[in-house]
Structure 1
Amino acid sequence: MFAFSLAVFLLIITPGPGVLSTAGVGAAYGWRPGLFYVAGLCAGTNLVSLAVISGLAAIILAQPLVRTILLFASAGYLGYLALRIALAGAKIAFIQTSAPGFMAGVMLQFINPKAYAVNTTLFTSFAFYPDSFAVETGLKLLIMNTIWLPLHLLWLYAGVRLNALNLTARIQRIINLVMAACLLAVVVLSIWSVLAIRVKDSIAPVIHIPARNGAGRPKTPLMLHRHALGREQTI
């Protein structure tokens, strides 16, 4: 769960259409319009999360290969985004918004590729509660929103205060490199999480439990837990 929380923090705090536009709205329009815009981004993010969960859950649970492909596809996009940030110029460019508001925030998330890449990465890896997909998904949504809102409010505050600062080109360049490094760290964390789970599953002991007909059949620890829940006969 700690690895998941850290990944959420690093993914959200790095520059993307959502956070950069939040800072841009704060810099151009102030707190009040910015708060409506952040509320729209929050609603849009949760809608994207539900779309990813409902559309991929059955396939991911049934096909481990699909889960791996989705992980590396999203990690590849995040790596590409990190490269673009690292190679960008010294200027930190904000996405311009002409009519910031609740619906503007919602619509941005629907067309934001980072939102889909981030949600796919987070919901197809970092499996910290494999016994119940529903419980794990609910906990992930709770953790994401708990981290997401304060960080976006901080970006909004940074946008409001940015015009009062006089950043040098060197400092702006360092910011770009740090954000790129954070994205690469998330890629490594997500891949490591999946590999660690697979290694753990591959070395899990196989236990034989008598079935109803007296014949033995192999049981993994996860299946033993399901026995305890009463889904199958226990010893």
Structure 2
Amino acid sequence: MLDITNLWLFVISVFLLSVTPGPDMAYVVGQSVANGRRAGVISAAGVALGSCTHALASAVGLTALIAASPMIFTLVKYAGALYLMYLGSKLILGTFSRTSTDGDGKSEIKRGARLGELLAKGYITTLTNPKVLLFFISFFPQFVVPHGNYQTESFLMLGAVYALVAFLTDAMFALLAGSAAGTVSRNRRVQSLLDRVVGTTFIALGVRLAFVHR
């Protein structure tokens, strides 16, 4: 298939990476619990779109350029860390500003989030994660024949496979987590507790991301 080798090994490796807890999974599960299964699946689609962008950038050499530049890598890394901490802070602060009325004063991650909003947040979470960037440039070339005639096409194909496997995995977790959405929506105390747990997780992941080394 083009210049791709060991495709099944690639698929298994991507699956194992996808089930490892990280910013993407935390975001998808958090949205699913807060807003329901549909929101979780849409968020997973946003994450997949971010992966596709990384694959496209890698195919044209942009990812390699960013990874080779300490300054650009640092900017991307801190942008991703700050965004995660921003989402986490809004979740936690939203639990203190929530009023007794239904639907008012809720944070952006609450029920009723728009389709574009969910997609955009999932997209940005993945796009600004340098771990995904480094994974693409260090892992993908191992499954492409050196000096092949279809390297660009092969890289894009691997990127599509990566995005599909990651989306299906995230969607599976979204569906499982979404089963608790009904209970959460009827219990304000449980909802606030979950928001604080997910928000704290986002902040911790953001701090951890800030200390990632090239």
Which bin holds the TM-score, normalised by the shorter protein? 0.5 to 0.7
Structure 2 runs not aligned, ≥5 long: 1-12, 99-105, 144-154
User: TM-score scaled by structure 1?
Assistant: 0.54
The residue type paired with residue 82 of structure 1 is G
Could you tell me which amino acid in structure 2 is paired with residue 148 of structure 1?
D
Q: Does 1:157 align with 2:157?
A: no
Does 2:106 correspond to 1:87? no
State the one-letter code of the partner of 1:10: A
Give the deviation of 1:57 after TM superposition. Answer: 2.0
1:13 is aligned to 2:29: yes
Greater CA radius of gyration, 1 or 2? 1
For the residue of structure 2 that corresponds to 1:176, the secondary structure is: helix
Judge which range, 64-73 or 151-160, deviates more: 151-160
Which shifted more, 80-89 or 139-148?
A: 139-148
Q: Which has the higher contact order (CA 8 A, sep 6+)?
A: 2
**TM-score, normalised via structure 2 length:** 0.58
Shift of 1:72: 0.5
1:130 corresponding residue in structure 2: 138
Separation in 2 of the partners of 1:68 and 1:124? 12
Q: CA deviation at 1:157?
A: 2.2
Is the 1:3–1:189 contact (alpha carbons within 8 Å) kept by the matching residues of 2? no
Separation (CA, whole Å) in 1 of partners of 2:141 and 2:82: 25
Which whole-Å CA distance do the structure 2 matches of 1:178 and 1:113 have between them? 19
User: Are 1:52 and 1:120, in contact at CA under 8 Å, matched by a contact in 2?
Assistant: no
Structure 1 counterpart of 2:112:
96
* % same residue: 18
Q: Tell me which residue corresponds to 2:147.
A: none
Counterpart amino acid of 2:124? Y
Partner in structure 1 of residue 50 of structure 2: 48
Deviation at 1:167, TM superposition (A): 4.1
How many pairs are equivalent? 169
Which structure has more helix as a fraction of its residues? 2
CA distance in 1, matches of 2:48, 2:122: 14
